[in-house]
């Protein structure tokens, strides 16, 4: 029996709302995150980008074209310019919404009536390079969550597809948990996570279906697994069976309901 096979875990995956309750409401909007919290999400996930005046905003794409009534790159627009756009009416829910800043989302998370963990993804490559992590860590320090007593007690987790981005966070905030995202088993199952000191790996659900042993291999190395984006019941069951710690989903209420039936 290998070391990986000897690893034992218990408990069901915790539910992370991917860009909020984004199947029902426009992604990265305050309403989507409030819905996810009301539905009992254990964590919230967001993507962050820097504006031209170096404000952190919750936007996934490089441009605002898909998720607003405007056009152009986020990095070439000021926060004031972004505030003039509607980030909600594109969605079938037809809910008007302003751009959400990371500051607003952290405030919502920390003020919620029960502990919730915030997973913050830094996007790369970007024109501002390492400034994204610098600004993020400065804000987490401001809110008092950059130096948790342990990874298990942290209210924030920094996640990224960029190994350099993860390394920057580990170097400057060693107690802050980090997750190296990836969509290939070669990257996540090899030495990359070890090299940057990531405390977890983040495979896509498609990757995990093909390489389910990733969870045991990560656990044997002392790392948790965060799987994205888990929206179907068979995948929820698979993640529970494998021992995935966190599942990111666009449908937090549905996934929580499905987990109730998991043995």
**Catalytic positions, please?**
18, 60
C-beta atoms surrounding 138 within 10 Å = 12
64/195 Cα distance (integer angstroms): 34
71/58 Cα distance (integer angstroms): 16
C-beta atoms surrounding 261 within 10 Å = 10
223/217 Cα distance (integer angstroms): 9
Q: How remote is the C-alpha of 87 from its chain's centroid?
A: 20
Write out the DSSP string of 127-144.
TTTTHHHHHHHHHHHHTT
Q: Are strands 43-50 and 14-18 parallel, antiparallel or unpaired?
A: parallel
- Which has the closest alpha carbon to 179: 163, 201, 197, 194? 201
C-beta atoms surrounding 49 within 10 Å = 24
257/252 Cα distance (integer angstroms): 9
């Amino acid at each position: 029996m290998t070391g990986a096979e000897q690893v034992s875990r218990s408990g069901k995956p915790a539910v992370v709302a991917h860009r909020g309750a984004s199947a029902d409401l426009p992604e990265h909007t305050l309403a989507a995150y409030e819905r996810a919290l009301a539905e009992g999400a254990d964590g919230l996930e967001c993507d962050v980008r820097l504006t031209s005046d170096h404000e952190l905003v919750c936007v996934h794409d490089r441009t605002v074209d898909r998720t607003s009534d405007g056009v152009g790159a986020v990095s070439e627009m000021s926060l004031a310019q972004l505030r003039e756009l509607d980030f909600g009416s594109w969605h079938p829910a037809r809910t008007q919404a302003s751009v959400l800043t990371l500051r607003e989302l952290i405030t919502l998370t920390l003020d919620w009536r029960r502990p919730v963990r915030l997973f913050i993804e830094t996007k790369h490559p970007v024109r501002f390079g390492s400034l994204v992590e610098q600004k993020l860590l400065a804000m987490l320090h401001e809110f008092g969550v950059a130096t948790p007593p342990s990874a298990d007690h942290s209210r924030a987790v920094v996640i990224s597809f960029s190994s350099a981005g993860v390394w920057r966070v580990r170097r400057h905030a060693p107690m802050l948990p980090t997750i190296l995202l990836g969509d290939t088993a070669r990257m996540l199952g090899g030495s990359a996570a070890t090299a940057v000191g990531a405390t977890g790996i983040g495979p896509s659900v498609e990757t995990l279906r093909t390489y389910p042993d990733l969870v045991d291999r990560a656990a044997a190395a002392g790392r948790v697994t965060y799987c994205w984006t888990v929206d179907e019941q068979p995948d929820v069951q698979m993640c529970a069976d494998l021992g995935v710690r966190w599942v990111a989903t666009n449908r937090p209420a549905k996934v929580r309901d499905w987990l109730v039936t998991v043995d």
